Chains A and B, each alone.
Chain A
């Protein structure tokens, strides 16, 4: 929110602060408010100071209750200056909110984000100090609806503000009402891809806070939850917000049912977003998850990262909803291609594969083919990937003792002229992997990175080791830092003084490069 052009913006914000203070201190300066609102018309990139100012002003006004109009039923409208002033303030308030929402659409990202925050803060303030006197809990759904209308823009991507919006969805009331509002807004015949994107992102953010699943344990747990529950518009002396997970779930379902009817699978970005939402957040909430089966199956065939995501959904279905999926393993097998290293979801894939292959009822030949393929891939992967794959192979060897013959053949080892394993075979069980051995793992013993070499050694020693480990997934670039942190007893250095750039022995750079002439 800090101004970029320090001097000018500082001046402006100081000026604005002065004006706001003056306005708040006495009614004499009422025109200041009009001036401030007028300033929205100016074309600039950065509305942040303005937004902050109106946020301060109206939060204060709401707190004071200046905006409350005392409307007595069956009486003509009060024309006293006091009432006029209040009415004018209300108008200004409405105008300010409209301005703020407009600001969300244009200007710099920081300014847009500030607009969202301002709108939400005003919403919060209004929730705490409602314009009309209410006894119970009050949530200004209308305001939220307006915000959502802006967020669900059809032309511009709102992913930055939506991401920012996540800090408000932690509040349970915001979540519940948000879902409700969203469900009301959702219906649209043929939405644009950007609209879908925004919608899905918003839904994703709304579901970021987990919705408790069981309705039964309402007793003590519930009370505890309520104590900890964060409520946006809570104010003291008023009844608590009645949070109802079932309602939330219902609205979430409704949102998804609208989204289902859209052509989600046409654009890969939307498709991926939808799948991510479905798999990560929605799956446990859906009333009839098997309705998503078709979509997941289609996605599974799409290939690449999309199928990896779909795989997770399918796994969920298979595990919890008794869905039988044909050629599941062959599809999984097909995903293990060198290209998987380039995708973002490779770690997820490895993790899922570990779960998939943990069944001990799988045929040996199939698991062997997986092991073989993974070790082939480990041969070309980056150190981190190789380590993960080797860990997977080690787990396979541990869970399926029959695979031991791939690392230590019991009967007299035959000498073969080539590897019996067929890499190109698309069906795992026909790849003839059982007759092969994991030579690749042995090759990885000589990997330059010590961690990979150690992992390979662990695979080879897998036959007599403890239960399989879960895949520990490391961060990127952790390897480099970890290596720097390592301590060494001594620092070995070369013992022959080089006279030039070339090494005394084993120079390779200058063998391939003519650099000095």
Chain B
């Protein structure tokens, strides 16, 4: 009743109930089906899976499974074929036929995009053109032959008029016209034929002409090829040439094609860069160099610490964390180059003195590895030229093998004649040179004539030269001499070729020079007449040509070349000299130029020696100004030997100075410090030239006595150079700071009672206060800079005193700024400030006193702001304990035979497993057998039953028949 009453609720409840029931049904086991396996030994905490089983269910499952597998197999037993329908959507009746097709097409496309064919784009699609595949079309035949087809026009090349007339017969009107013309059809046709023949002939002719032209062009191209393409093997080419000439016309094409295919293509050279690009590259290069320079500024130790910060690449498992590093330097293989010098890395050379190896500083030979690059860059163009020339010559040689000997003879004789000429009179030489001015080809042809003319000369001159060389043997070894003269031949030739260009340049330069000169109007004596320069230069050409002839007089040569000239003329002369001995022109030139460097040093020394007048000093500096770029050039040509020369010079100067360390060296020593700073990077932590010169300067400042105008002005000169040396690195140079302190001390009023310490060479109360201003100079105009006249000054006048203190203060400020980072700033500069405070500023010109007080307040302020933090070390991180790989041991397998060895235990375990599996498999097979038997028995029973039924039926039928028969019988 309740159900009826509350139907909705009851339904819900029912549903819930049913659900629960279903779940319960599912899970609920028939207790009669559960079979409990008896446990023999109870192990505590052991989870047993097999404590209970459902034999009925399990059996049913197994049977079901067998039915699906073994049963179906049995069904198909002894059947040869199976039929599987895999058409997509075939069995599915719901899909329409169209959808089915679409699905199949999609599947096909998907298949195509399988992984294998992902990169074969359009592999399957064969592209066609007019029904032909492209492959068939692309036969790369001779393009000439295709001309014919192109020419072929419609209707066999007949005119449109004709066609329209002839083919279509024309209308009434046209016929009438034809009649007028009185031309029969036959005539017409004949005319047509004649015309077409004529045209064909014309075409044929034209074609032949173009063919000829093409061939000609080809042959010319062949000639050109060696010129255009670098480095071709001569032998090969000549072979090909021969073959080509021999071969018939038909083979020509194949040859050509093959040749083109295997031929070395011209090596691609860098395209010409635009100006911006070049500038950009230049800038980048310089930036890189700057970066390297800054790196070199740091000391090696700091660098090593920086390096150490990087984690090592590899850590051994045995690493004990003690920063021990295995030295696994790569072993190098000892090899020798063609000169018999070992090819050994630089550092090895340094560490072990390999007997064969030349010392690093021995001469300019060993440094080639470093420098070659530079030189190559510089003389790239020249190299190319030379190489081109070489290949040219080679070609000639190969082409005209017969004439080869001749040419070689020629060249030899040429050399000889030139050599002899050179040693002979200069007139002869100039003739020779004039002749050689022509182009190379011409030159060779000319040489025949030349030989005739100069052979006689050479004979004469040879005798002469012999005597000369003998006379020279004392000064120089013979072989050396000959070499150098040989080289000169080459260089001379080049020389003359260059000459024209140079003349242009030099004229440009002279213009520049005159511009520059106009700056120094006040020095009229220096402004030589530009017009006469050219004459001078021509004179000097001869000197240049013979510059290095005799070793002993090189220096004199240079002196002769340069003395009595204006600075701008110096530039031109040197430019010419250096260019004519460009290292690209001859091997020896490098050495010659380094010798030139030494002579230039000597010349500089001479220029600055014994200059006591202001004008002389200025002139010397002007000359030096012009020399500096050439020093730079020369030093780039041969780093090592030029460095050697400069260092030797410094050493010599230093020894001379040490003989009397209390006297400041004169300008002919000091100028080289300036030279060093222009040539070498002064910021390097250690540098073979810069460091010694710094030591030298510091020595001068610490031990010389500054008691007169001469020494004080030179002291300032040195200090400004020291500033220049340390402008980038900001290194601390006590000697310079002390010198400034001393100079300010000399300017200041100090009394005995309240002394301010000074550092030797200045002595408290002992140094005479030579710089102190005694009278009021407040109205004097002050010059801002020290000047050349100060270097020449013998007496200290008031203006010099003023300049001294001004310069000292300005320098002091710069040092102060340089050392701003140093914590001990106060300790360094406090005495200076004190001393500056004692200077009687009222006496000085207003500008100067203002400047000084500005600097003092600036320094004071900065010192006030300066804070001091006690030095402490970076906290050292505690080293983490190293963790090791976990030590994995065998898991206890619980097998009884734990005493067995590992292999045996494994073996036993595997055997146990195998046994188990075997057992299970046998059981399965047995059950399969049982299943098969049961199926078979069932089938048999079934067929028996059918047979029985049929028998029964038969009996039944028979009995019915019998009964009917009997009935009939009975009825009868």
Q: Which residue of B lies closest to A420 (CB)?
A: B868
Name the residue among B625, B654, B696, B725 with the largest chain A CB count within 10 angstroms: B625
Q: Provide the residues of chain A in CB contact with B731, threshold 8 Å.
A: 446-448
Q: Determine whether the beta carbon of A386 is less than 8 Å from that of B734.
A: yes
B residues 705-752 near A (Cβ < 8 Å) are 716-717, 720-721, 723-735, 737-738
Q: Which residue of B lies closest to A512 (CB)?
A: B720
Q: Is A465 an interface residue (CB 8 A)?
A: no
Q: Which of B299, B523, B629, B680 contacts A453 (CB 8 A)?
A: B299
Q: Which of B757, B761, B787 contacts A337 (CB 8 A)?
A: B757
**A382/B299 contact (C-beta < 8 A), A501-B678, A516-B520 known:** no
Q: A382-B703, A443-B823 are in contact. List 11 more A-B contacts (CB 8 A).
A: A413-B869, A446-B730, A446-B732, A447-B731, A448-B694, A487-B360, A497-B633, A506-B727, A508-B724, A509-B720, A516-B618
Q: Is B296 an interface residue (CB 8 A)?
A: yes
Q: Which of A342, A438, A489, A516 contacts B761 (CB 8 A)?
A: A342
Interface residues of A (CB under 8 A from B): 337-339, 341-342, 376, 379-383, 386, 405-410, 413-419, 423, 437-440, 442-444, 446-450, 453-454, 457, 477, 479-480, 483-484, 486-501, 503, 506-509, 511-517
Q: Determine whether the beta carbon of B301 is less than 8 Å from that of A494.
A: no
Docked CA distance A416–B783 (Å): 42
Q: Determine whether the beta carbon of A457 is less than 8 Å from that of B301.
A: yes
Q: Which of B625, B640, B647 contacts A501 (CB 8 A)?
A: B625
**Could you list 6 examples of A-B contacts with CB < 8 Å?**
A379-B824, A453-B299, A486-B686, A493-B635, A498-B678, A509-B724
Q: Determine whether the beta carbon of B824 is less than 8 Å from that of A484.
A: no
Produce 1/0 per residue, B338-374, CB < 8 A to A.
0000000011001000000000110000000010000
Interface residues of B (CB under 8 A from A): 285-286, 289, 293, 296, 299, 301, 346-347, 350, 360-361, 370, 519-520, 522-523, 617-618, 621-622, 624-626, 628-629, 632-633, 635-636, 639-640, 643, 647, 650-651, 654, 658, 674, 677-681, 684-689, 691-692, 694-696, 698-699, 702-703, 716-717, 720-721, 723-735, 737-738, 757-761, 763-764, 783, 785-788, 807, 810-811, 814, 819, 822-824, 826-828, 867-873
Name the residue among B520, B621, B810 with the largest chain A CB count within 10 angstroms: B621
**A480/B720 contact (C-beta < 8 A), A489-B347, A491-B640, A506-B728 known:** no
**A419/B826 contact (C-beta < 8 A), A413-B872, A497-B632, A509-B674 known:** yes
Docked CA distance A414–B696 (Å): 41
Q: Which residue of A lies closest to B658 (CB)?
A: A477
Docked CA distance A437–B824 (Å): 10
Docked CA distance A497–B286 (Å): 12
**A498/B632 contact (C-beta < 8 A), A448-B694, A508-B723, A516-B621 known:** yes
Q: Determine whether the beta carbon of A515 is less than 8 Å from that of B788.
A: yes
Q: Provide the residues of chain A in CB contact with B810, threshold 8 Å.
A: 512
Docked CA distance A386–B135 (Å): 88
Q: Determine whether the beta carbon of A483 is less than 8 Å from that of B692.
A: yes
Q: Determine whether the beta carbon of B694 is less than 8 Å from that of A480.
A: no
Q: Determine whether the beta carbon of B872 is less than 8 Å from that of A408.
A: yes
**A493/B733 contact (C-beta < 8 A), A480-B696, A507-B724 known:** no
**A448/B733 contact (C-beta < 8 A), A415-B867, A493-B679 known:** yes
Q: Which of A408, A491, A500 contacts B871 (CB 8 A)?
A: A408
**B504 CB to nearest chain A CB (Å):** 20
Q: Which residue of A lies closest to B686 (CB)?
A: A450
Q: Determine whether the beta carbon of A492 is less than 8 Å from that of B734.
A: no
Q: Which of B643, B679, B691, B760 contacts A339 (CB 8 A)?
A: B760
Docked CA distance A418–B863 (Å): 9
**A491/B720 contact (C-beta < 8 A), A480-B692, A514-B787 known:** no
Q: Which of B678, B822, B870 contacts A446 (CB 8 A)?
A: B822
Q: Determine whether the beta carbon of B867 is less than 8 Å from that of A416.
A: yes
Q: Which of B361, B689, B758, B823 contacts A338 (CB 8 A)?
A: B758
Q: Determine whether the beta carbon of B636 is less than 8 Å from that of A493.
A: yes
Docked CA distance A317–B270 (Å): 84
**B343 CB to nearest chain A CB (Å):** 17
Q: Provide the residues of chain A in CB contact with B688, threshold 8 Å.
A: 484, 486, 488, 491
Q: Determine whether the beta carbon of A415 is less than 8 Å from that of B360.
A: no
Q: Determine whether the beta carbon of B698 is less than 8 Å from that of A511.
A: no
Q: Provide the residues of chain A in CB contact with B632, threshold 8 Å.
A: 494, 497-498
Q: Which residue of B lies closest to A476 (CB)?
A: B658
Q: Provide the residues of chain A in CB contact with B735, threshold 8 Å.
A: 382
Q: Determine whether the beta carbon of A513 is less than 8 Å from that of B867.
A: no
Q: Determine whether the beta carbon of A438 is less than 8 Å from that of B691.
A: no
Q: Provide the residues of chain A in CB contact with B639, threshold 8 Å.
A: 491, 493
Q: Determine whether the beta carbon of A480 is less than 8 Å from that of B678.
A: no
Leading 6 A-B pairs by shortest Cβ distance: A342-B760, A508-B724, A439-B823, A448-B731, A413-B870, A408-B873
Docked CA distance A450–B729 (Å): 13
Q: Determine whether the beta carbon of B628 is less than 8 Å from that of A443.
A: no
Q: Which residue of A lies closest to B650 (CB)?
A: A484
Q: Determine whether the beta carbon of A508 is less than 8 Å from that of B679.
A: no
Q: Provide the residues of chain A in CB contact with B684, threshold 8 Å.
A: 492
**A484/B679 contact (C-beta < 8 A), A446-B822, A498-B628 known:** no
Q: Provide the residues of chain B in CB contact with A506, threshold 8 Å.
A: 724, 727-728
Docked CA distance A293–B823 (Å): 44
Q: Provide the residues of chain A in CB contact with B301, threshold 8 Å.
A: 454, 457
**A517/B618 contact (C-beta < 8 A), A491-B643, A509-B721, A512-B716 known:** yes
Q: Determine whether the beta carbon of A513 is less than 8 Å from that of B717.
A: yes
Q: Provide the residues of chain A in CB contact with B674, threshold 8 Å.
A: 501, 509
Q: Determine whether the beta carbon of A483 is less than 8 Å from that of B691.
A: yes
Docked CA distance A407–B872 (Å): 6
Q: Which residue of B lies closest to A448 (CB)?
A: B731
Q: Provide the residues of chain A in CB contact with B868, threshold 8 Å.
A: 415-419, 437, 439
Q: Determine whether the beta carbon of A438 is less than 8 Å from that of B871.
A: yes
**A452 CB to nearest chain B CB (Å):** 9
**B914 CB to nearest chain A CB (Å):** 67
Q: Provide the residues of chain A in CB contact with B628, threshold 8 Å.
A: 498, 500-501
Docked CA distance A479–B695 (Å): 8
Docked CA distance A234–B533 (Å): 82
**A488 CB to nearest chain B CB (Å):** 5
Q: Which residue of B lies closest to A423 (CB)?
A: B827
**B660 CB to nearest chain A CB (Å):** 13
**A511/B827 contact (C-beta < 8 A), A417-B868, A501-B678 known:** no
Q: Determine whether the beta carbon of A490 is less than 8 Å from that of B871.
A: no
Q: Provide the residues of chain B in CB contact with A501, threshold 8 Å.
A: 621, 624-625, 628, 674, 678
Docked CA distance A418–B694 (Å): 33
**B842 CB to nearest chain A CB (Å):** 25
Q: Provide the residues of chain B in CB contact with A493, threshold 8 Å.
A: 635-636, 639, 679-681
Q: Which residue of A lies closest to B691 (CB)?
A: A483
Q: Provide the residues of chain A in CB contact with B689, threshold 8 Å.
A: 491
Q: Determine whether the beta carbon of B721 is less than 8 Å from that of A508.
A: yes
Name the residue among B289, B686, B807 with the largest chain A CB count within 10 angstroms: B686
Q: Which of A406, A443, A448, A511 contacts B824 (CB 8 A)?
A: A443
Q: Provide the residues of chain B in CB contact with A457, threshold 8 Å.
A: 299, 301
Q: Which of A442, A453, A495 contacts B823 (CB 8 A)?
A: A442
Docked CA distance A400–B792 (Å): 55
Docked CA distance A296–B725 (Å): 47
Name the residue among A457, A487, A490, A499 with the largest chain B CB count within 10 angstroms: A490
Q: Determine whether the beta carbon of B680 is less than 8 Å from that of A494.
A: yes
Docked CA distance A416–B823 (Å): 11
Q: Provide the residues of chain B in CB contact with A442, threshold 8 Å.
A: 822-824, 871
Q: Which of B622, B760, B826 contacts A418 (CB 8 A)?
A: B826
Q: Provide the residues of chain B in CB contact with A440, threshold 8 Å.
A: 824, 827
Docked CA distance A466–B716 (Å): 43
**A409/B760 contact (C-beta < 8 A), A383-B698, A477-B658, A480-B696 known:** no
Name the residue among B721, B725, B819, B872 with the largest chain A CB count within 10 angstroms: B872
Q: Determine whether the beta carbon of A379 is less than 8 Å from that of B827.
A: yes
Q: Determine whether the beta carbon of B694 is less than 8 Å from that of A449.
A: yes
Q: Which residue of B lies closest to A405 (CB)?
A: B870
Name the residue among A439, A457, A498, A515 with the largest chain B CB count within 10 angstroms: A515
